[in-house]
Structure 1
């Protein structure tokens, strides 16, 4: 019997196309008068690329790291007050224009919770840390559906390491062997750590239609339909693909 479902945040609950780089670069530029915008942009991108190496190691990181790497690339510094203000703005930029939820998310969460399932979030945070993303989820009125949220900036590890999933299972009061569903966007990267954390699990790929998972879904209505099929606790067969059953481009109410 499936007891719990965890969700990725970006590209699964919320639209991942939103980026706040331009706002962050502009804000930093106001505190570095005389420096060309293009130079600040290159330094910002350089900081991001260095952080990507840390992510590859499976480590979490903070906004202060990206800002420090950006300033280091520029060969300049900020006053302590400007540094703190810039970190705060970079972290909270998402609050000025929050990304929309993917279509059907509130209805799906309501259905799943009404069935007694425990729901959690596991998110690699980026420049918007956990305390800010909780505010975004609360603004979108879905935070209350989740019993626990695991954010990489708070744990120090990202989803490339099993601990991110083990911490969530522990918070949801599940043993690692418990059957659990993981709704995530980048399945190839995270299959190994998830399977090391949870002996019985299967995945639903969201948003991206690349067929890297035996059980991809193309929209959240299909997630509910597919979850209905597994309520008895049966392990899905590798050939199970909801798109084959209901049509890849069909639109269904999530109440179905």
Structure 2
């Protein structure tokens, strides 16, 4: 090396793209909620009745929503429960002393009845997602997903992926109920990197919620891209209008803004938005 000459390490090659699920790849249809509520009650009521709990759909919905809200607060601290533990927690709302005495077979049946309703009223795949996933795969990128789960656990969401015929595009699927860790826990992000066999500097996280999808992976050394305009105090970062928007690698250290006025916008923070239908450009 010549004396006095500074050498810069080349930027890392992007090898993986990891997506959030809700609001990034899929969205719920509110018109299906009444049907889902009825099916959930009809499927769960016989199991509750076996343990002497007679209830109405209105009362059941109230208790299950209270359970879901409580467990959602747990996720704020990076923790989660399994689908079976979630099932016991619903029993707890009706009769606290009973929750630990439900037979394992009934817990499993309740978890399936409770969370499996989503398969009968599946959420929609957002426009352009199928093409974006296929493009990532075609370009040799590893593709992953990290999702905090709710009523429906990873086993049910995998079936939704199969319904939409996108399962084959993923190399790793990480659901919080299966790991008992939720975003923003660093362990869930690291488990994804390990499964994809990449480093944080080689991975991009794409999501819509700054609190869980932008701030945490950014702190852990990932590249980040936000879908949509939701703001919750995260530092300035790249934003795109939808998941199918395309990006190209740029130098790190600044902040990008999407103005929609031309084929390419000014960039900071690692990526540049393009208006053309190629989603991601890598070397």
For Structure 1 versus Structure 2, the TM-score category normalised by the shorter chain is 0.7 to 0.9
2:83 to 63, 82, 85: 63
Q: Is structure 2 residue 262 aligned with structure 1 residue 238?
A: no
Please report the TM-score for the alignment, with normalisation by the length of structure 2.
0.74
For residues 76-225 of structure 1, what are the structure 2 equivalents within 5 Å?
A: 80=103, 81-176=105-200, 178-198=201-221, 200-206=222-228, 209-211=229-231, 214-221=237-244, 223-224=245-246
1:8 to 20, 30, 36: 20
Question: Is contact 1:11–1:185 with CA below 8 Å preserved after alignment?
Answer: yes
Choose 1 or 2 for highest CA Rg: 2
Q: Indicate the residue corresponding to 2:267 in structure 1.
A: none
- Gap runs ≥5 in structure 1: none
* Number of residue equivalences: 242
Q: CA deviation at 1:243?
A: 3.4
Question: Is contact 2:19–2:205 with CA below 8 Å preserved after alignment?
Answer: yes
CA separation in 2, counterparts of 1:4 and 1:194?
13
Q: CA deviation at 1:30?
A: 4.3
Q: CA deviation at 1:245?
A: 3.7
- Gap runs ≥5 in structure 2: 1-12, 265-274
- Map Cα deviations across residues 157-207 of structure 1 (whole Å, 9 max, x no partner): 11111111111111111123x242211121123444313432x4222224x
CA separation in 2, counterparts of 1:89 and 1:162?
31
Indicate the RMSD between aligned Cα atoms, in angstroms.
2.8
CA separation in 2, counterparts of 1:180 and 1:242?
25
CA separation in 2, counterparts of 1:235 and 1:83?
49
CA separation in 1, counterparts of 2:215 and 2:238?
16
CA separation in 2, counterparts of 1:201 and 1:139?
30
Q: CA deviation at 1:22?
A: 4.4
CA separation in 2, counterparts of 1:38 and 1:97?
20
Does the residue aligned with 1:119 lie in a helix, a strand or coil?
strand
CA separation in 2, counterparts of 1:133 and 1:58?
20
Question: Is contact 1:94–1:128 with CA below 8 Å preserved after alignment?
Answer: yes
1:188–1:75 Cα change, 3 Å: closer
CA separation in 1, counterparts of 2:127 and 2:215?
29
Question: Is contact 2:114–2:151 with CA below 8 Å preserved after alignment?
Answer: yes
Q: CA deviation at 1:215?
A: 1.8
1:215–1:244 Cα change, 3 Å: farther
